[in-house]
Structure 1
Amino acid sequence: MEETGRTTHTLAALMELRKRILNGDFPGGTRLFEVALAETLQISRTPIREAMSRLAEEGLLDRLANGGFVVRSFTFADVLDAIELRGVLEGTAVRLAAERGAPADALQEVQDVLAQLDACFGSAPRDVDFEAYSDLNAQFHTLLTALSGSAVLQREIERATRLPFASPSAFLSGRTNIDVFRQSLQVAQEQHRALVAAISSREGTRAEFIAREHARIARRNLEYVILENPDLIEQVPGLALLNS
């Protein structure tokens, strides 16, 4: 019972700290102190320490030599590299799925989510259910990479996408209801369909190419914010961690 309570407190601390870091409440380079956080969050120090260890694994915190933690900051180049890495890993996953042959039931599950994604679009170009699409998009990508049958790849893709700006849904939350991002969804959905078709047809090279191009949508959205409209940075979760 005591162990369950600690796990609950660790999860609560993890979610709250992650939210505050991504919102920019703790800028990059900020040293986090267990005692102060425990008092602020009304949680004991052990769950706080465990939550910070988890956030270090996710790449949001760095461990200090003395055992403490500091909030990481990232350069624009870091973000581009993270997106590129996701594209490479997902490309490899879908190529293997196509070459090895995805199980029919697993492929059907992906197609079912694809149909639900289609239903997020209304008749008008601006009529998109952003929140539903965001959740389903994350589910689609998880199921898609699972088709590879590679636990190693799935683990590495999960690690790569823990950084918020590298996630397939990085630009799809309700806070990023931006016209340019809406427009990119139509292209993204066409690529989703093409990916499923390539895997079904056992076209590994084609599937890999599409996945790599699919990740570049996130890169273009990022460049739109950072290079053309920096006033939008606060609307994109995680970009508050970028070095100015």
Structure 2
Amino acid sequence: MKKNQTNVLSELRQMILEGALSAGSRIAEVPTAEMLGVSRTPVRIAFRALEQEGLLTKLAGRGYEVRSISVEEIMGAVEVRGVLEGLAARQAAERGLSLEHQQALASLLEEGDQILDVESLQEADLERYQQMNKRFHDIVIEAAHNPAIQAALSRNEHLPFASSSALAFDKKHMQREARRFQFAHQQHHHVYHAIVNGLGTRAEGIMREHANATLGYVHQPKDSDSLTVITERKL
């Protein structure tokens, strides 16, 4: 399958997550493009995105360096995201969804159901889910009508794996990934139900759990300062 921009970004993010691109290593456009079998343009765009996510540091000369990321750094960023998105969900429930937002969320839930209703989940399906997932989160935040939440989330998204769009998935274990995405999408249904029915406290709790479910799976080896595999990521 020909890699698109999202494929390249997700693959590089996963390589950093698993340590295939280790902390402190230098990476450049040409060798990375050759390794992935793509042109330099999607790699260049991916590098910039990963820099914004806090995974790469741009060097004074050419190229980038993979940042050293601690478990504590990820935990802190994900917890903050959970608090902010939980607050957004509660305020959206208390204010009431507009018909436009309600229809958009319902349509995204249906799209997610269709994506996951397959015998064998493929990489292309997960790319579609990733786009759906980001839009779902964006609408919940929009529905809160609170610019302070949006501003705080924008700052937090520059930290590693703190953004709803910074998804990673393990292509070597697609069945496990399918179960993970199916569970996450059920949480989407539950938070939607809570918001539509004005259950602010419930909506907040589900949305916080939706982000913080990551933390029970993050681990760091005792004999290393670098992050190793995170077997479950936020959705």
2:177 to 181, 193, 201: 181
Q: Deviations over 1:122-168 (max 9, x none)?
A: 26xx6445422222112211222221112331232244344453343
The 8 Å contact of residues 184 and 217 in structure 1, kept in 2 or not, is answered as no
> Structure 1: which amino acid aligns with 2:147?
A
Whole-Å separation in 2 of the counterparts to 1:158 and 1:200: 26
Q: For residues 22 and 178 of structure 1, do their structure 2 counterparts lie closer, same or farther at Cα, with a shift above 3 Å needed? A: closer
> Structure 2: which amino acid aligns with 1:94?
A
> Structure 2: which amino acid aligns with 1:91?
G
Q: Does structure 1 residue 108 correspond to structure 2 residue 107?
A: no
The percent of aligned pairs where both chains have the same amino acid is: 31
Whole-Å separation in 2 of the counterparts to 1:78 and 1:128: 31
- Structure 1: runs of 5 or more not aligned: 1-11, 238-244
Q: Does structure 1 residue 118 correspond to structure 2 residue 120?
A: no
Give runs of aligned pairs for residues 64-143 of structure 1, distance below 5 A.
71-122=66-117, 127-128=120-121, 130-131=125-126, 132-143=128-139
The corresponding residue for 1:9 is none
Whole-Å separation in 1 of the counterparts to 2:105 and 2:180: 21
- Structure 2: runs of 5 or more not aligned: 34-39, 222-227
Structure 2-normalised TM-score? 0.65
Structure 1-normalised TM-score? 0.63
CA offset at residue 114 of structure 1?
0.9
1:206 to 198, 202, 205: 202
Q: Does structure 1 residue 194 correspond to structure 2 residue 190?
A: yes
The 8 Å contact of residues 134 and 164 in structure 2, kept in 1 or not, is answered as yes
Whole-Å separation in 1 of the counterparts to 2:220 and 2:180: 17
The 8 Å contact of residues 169 and 177 in structure 2, kept in 1 or not, is answered as no
The 8 Å contact of residues 55 and 160 in structure 2, kept in 1 or not, is answered as no
The 8 Å contact of residues 73 and 160 in structure 2, kept in 1 or not, is answered as no
Paired positions, count: 207
Task: Give the number of the structure whose alpha-carbon radius of gyration is greater.
Answer: 1
Q: Does structure 1 residue 28 correspond to structure 2 residue 37?
A: no
SS in 1 for 2:182: helix
> Structure 2: which amino acid aligns with 1:198?
A
Structure having the larger proportion of residues in helix: 1
CA offset at residue 118 of structure 1?
0.9
Whole-Å separation in 2 of the counterparts to 1:176 and 1:166: 24
SS in 2 for 1:73: coil
